[in-house]
Homo-oligomer: A and B are copies of this chain.
Amino acid sequence: MIDLCLLGTGGMMPLPERWLSALLVRSQRDVVLVDCGEGTQVSWRYSNWNFRDVGTIALTHLHADHVAGIAGVLFMIAHSNRSEDLTIFGPPGTYQVVQALTIVVPRLPFTVRIVELEGGETHTLPDGLELSTLKVDHRIPCLAYRFTRHRAPKFDAERARALDIPITLWGTLQSGSSVDVDGQTFSPDQVLGPPRSGLSVGFVTDTRVTSDIPNFVRDAELLICEGTYGDPELRERAEKRGHMVFDQAATIAREANARRLILTHFSPAMLDPDNYLHHAQAIFRHSSIGQAHQTITLSFRDE
């Protein structure tokens, strides 16, 4: 299962009624904050997510509207009594920018590890959530993120019983290791069903359309994708500035065979993104406009 909370949907600058685009992702005990513009700590307080739980911050890129709130968020995490390490992923330059911005929070009660990524990496977080990256195409280095909860094959209890494997060893087999019973070795494939698809969510913002994106978010249960402009006539402006219009995001969702698309990162000039939603829905029916503090729970298909 993956829980999500969209903290905001704005691009460029925070507005009274529109927090900057940022996302909370939780799967088991892995909790990730994706992007962190000014005001993210305030928007966060409208949710019921605990600052303490965040072990990972993933930055798409180093423009102010995606990173300027990092000092405030680290300060809040510190005040929530977290003492465990925290990892910040981001594109090249992240170390320098985070070091600079956190000059006003000099003492944190936990270690911050900063990992700069080029795109193309996969990291597994402590509780198994997989984070992978793709280099996308903005005006400065920028990453798209995909979060995946893999799913173990189903354990066939009937076969395990038929093979006389003690129940205390089932967990070992389920986690993929062989076991010995009275000199006889049993391997996982003897008691596990076929592979099962996991669950994933893509977060793609501040990029032009690139040919890699659909593959990167292929079969995602949810794609959260920027639509800086709604009006398809602004495509040229969007491309010039390293962004997309709604129908381009919808085309990615369709090509990727995503199950659902949520649009985000709206230009301050677009007062009501709903007015343009039909441009996305004409291409990909399951498109919607992101709402601040919207929470989404993604479950495995047959649960």
Residues of A within 8 A of B (CB): 13-16, 38-39, 41-42, 45-46, 62-64, 67-69, 71-72, 75-76, 79, 96-97, 100-101, 103-105
Q: Determine whether the beta carbon of A64 is less than 8 Å from that of B68.
A: no
Q: For the complex formed, measure the closest distance between the CB of A215 and the CB atoms of chain B, giving whole angstroms.
A: 31
Contacting residues, chain B, for A39 (C-beta < 8 A): 14, 38-39, 42
A-B contact pairs, 6 of them (CB 8 A): A13-B79, A14-B39, A63-B104, A68-B104, A100-B100, A100-B103
Copies per complex? 2
Q: For the complex formed, measure the closest distance between the CB of A22 and the CB atoms of chain B, giving whole angstroms.
A: 14
Q: For the complex formed, measure the closest distance between the CB of A257 and the CB atoms of chain B, giving whole angstroms.
A: 36
Q: Determine whether the beta carbon of B69 is less than 8 Å from that of A45.
A: no
Q: For the complex formed, measure the closest distance between the CB of A97 and the CB atoms of chain B, giving whole angstroms.
A: 6
Q: For the complex formed, measure the closest distance between the CB of A88 and the CB atoms of chain B, giving whole angstroms.
A: 15
- A-B complex: 7 closest residue pairs judged by Cβ atoms: A64-B104, A100-B100, A100-B103, A38-B72, A14-B42, A39-B39, A16-B45
Q: Of residues A67, A69, A96, A103, which shows the largest number of chain B Cβ atoms within 10 Å of its Cβ? A: A103
Contacting residues, chain B, for A62 (C-beta < 8 A): 104
Q: Determine whether the beta carbon of A72 is less than 8 Å from that of B64.
A: yes
Contacting residues, chain B, for A64 (C-beta < 8 A): 71-72, 75, 104-105
Q: For the complex formed, measure the closest distance between the CB of A134 and the CB atoms of chain B, giving whole angstroms.
A: 23
Q: Of residues A16, A63, A96, which shows the largest number of chain B Cβ atoms within 10 Å of its Cβ? A: A16
Q: A13-B72, A68-B71, A100-B103 are in contact. List 8 more A-B contacts (CB 8 A).
A: A13-B41, A13-B79, A38-B38, A38-B41, A39-B42, A67-B104, A68-B104, A100-B101
Contacting residues, chain B, for A97 (C-beta < 8 A): 103-104
* C-alpha spacing A100/B99, complex, angstroms: 8
Residue from B46, B76, B79, B104 within 8 A of A101 (CB atoms) = B104
